[in-house]
């Protein structure tokens, strides 16, 4: 796991740690805003899934361990909708992941509606804010630019809105980490490694994506490639998340600030699929040069299991 900046602790915990009063003391409060993408799935299972950008505001009472969430930009039907919640209890903890100690905040609503007075119904609310996430600081890809907000925490929210929509947040730029298993034939032993990381950059309006595979290695006897870039992949929104697919994609090798086509390693097919309800976990399946068959399983944030 790469070095991560513990920015969230400073942004959220500082007020509570430096405060000296009670929960009514303004010093104990801290406010956090995040811009993310909303995956809006109609609960009726018939209407199309909508993806739009949304701004969220969270207020933490670090003494009483309470958090409230609001947004004025839940956009569908060409209209911005809003909500605000009552306070929900959060729990916070520090976790050592790969030698990095990071803060994780988690909260969820009790049964029933947690909407504030005058707001539309909001049920099944779950929230996660963590600075234990993955990114690669070895190499930027010029055509994609630096990775989005590497100093900030990652926030994942999911909830039912107005008894009509299931909304889950995600990011247009994510780095997935986990295990990649590759086989060169049906009878060969799989080559397993946790070195590769998969950066996914989504143009949500055009429904196109790029993917960078860092430390790509398809066989234990071949050297790892610093970064392989795949572009112009297709994005499809599904009820439970999204898929990213491509066929006969020529990868580009990223070296010294330039991208060079690698015709010897064409991706015959590649498919990424979100696999968890909060859309933080995914698989990537691909075939390279008609010979190497790869399967990645991982996530873009680390979530405690306790």
Strand 197-203 and strand 208-216: the pairing is antiparallel
Q: What CATH number is attached to the domain comprising 210?
A: 2.40.160
Do 145 and 67 fall into the same domain? yes
Residue 240 pairs with which residues in a beta bridge?
none
Range of the domain at 208: 173-299
Do 161 and 21 fall into the same domain? yes
Per-residue pLDDT of the chain (306 residues; tens, 9 = 90+): 444 444 454 455 444 333 344 445 555 889 999 999 999 999 998 999 999 999 999 999 989 999 999 999 999 988 999 999 999 999 999 988 877 788 899 999 977 899 998 889 999 999 999 987 777 666 678 778 777 665 578 999 999 999 999 999 999 999 999 999 999 876 678 999 999 999 999 999 999 999 999 999 988 888 888 899 999 999 999 999 999 999 999 999 988 778 899 888 899 999 999 999 999 999 999 999 888 999 999 999 988 887
Cα gap 50→38, rounded to integer Å: 8
In a domain, 114, yes or no: yes
**Half-sphere exposure (Cβ direction) of 244: Cα atoms closer than 13 Å:** 28
Do 14 and 152 fall into the same domain? yes
End residue of a domain, out of 121, 144, 170? 170
End residue of a domain, out of 170, 197, 229? 170
Cα gap 250→262, rounded to integer Å: 7
Query: Number of structural domains, the chain?
Result: 2
Cα gap 96→132, rounded to integer Å: 9
Do 212 and 157 fall into the same domain? no
How far is the first Cα of the chain from the last one, in angstroms, to the nearest whole number? 21
DSSP of 27-50: GGEEEEEEEEEEEEEETTS-SPPE
Whole-angstrom CA distances from 218 to 43, 263, 267, 274 are 41, 15, 12, 23
In a domain, 2, yes or no: no
End residue of a domain, out of 118, 144, 170? 170
């Amino acid at each position: 796991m790469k070095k991560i900046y513990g920015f969230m602790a400073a942004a959220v915990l500082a007020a509570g740690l430096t405060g000296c009063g009670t929960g009514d003391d303004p010093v104990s409060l801290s406010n956090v805003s995040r811009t993310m993408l909303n995956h809006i799935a109609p609960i009726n299972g018939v209407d199309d899934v909508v993806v739009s950008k949304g701004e969220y505001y969270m207020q933490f009472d670090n003494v009483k361990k309470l958090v409230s969430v609001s947004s004025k930009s839940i956009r569908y039907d060409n209209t911005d909708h809003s909500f605000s919640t009552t306070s929900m209890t959060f729990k916070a903890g520090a976790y050592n992941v790969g030698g990095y100690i990071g803060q994780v905040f988690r909260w969820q609503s009790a049964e029933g509606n947690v909407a504030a007075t005058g707001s539309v119904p909001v049920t099944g609310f779950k929230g996660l804010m963590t600075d234990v996430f993955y990114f690669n600081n070895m190499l930027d890809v010029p055509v994609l630019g630096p990775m989005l907000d590497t100093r900030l925490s990652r926030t994942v929210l999911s909830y039912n809105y107005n008894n009509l929509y299931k909304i889950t947040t995600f990011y247009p730029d994510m780095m997935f980490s986990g295990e990649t298993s590759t086989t060169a034939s049906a009878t060969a032993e799989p080559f397993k490694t946790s070195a590769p990381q998969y950066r996914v950059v989504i143009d949500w309006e055009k429904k196109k994506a790029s993917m960078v595979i860092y430390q790509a290695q398809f066989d234990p006897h071949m050297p790892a490639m610093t970064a392989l870039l795949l572009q112009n992949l297709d994005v499809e929104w599904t009820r439970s998340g999204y898929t990213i697919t491509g066929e006969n994609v020529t990868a580009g090798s990223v070296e010294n600030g330039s991208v060079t086509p690698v015709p010897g390693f064409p991706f015959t097919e590649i498919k990424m699929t979100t696999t968890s309800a909060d859309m933080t976990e995914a698989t990537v399946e691909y075939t390279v040069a008609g010979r190497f068959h790869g399967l990645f399983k991982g996530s873009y944030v680390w979530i405690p299991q306790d």
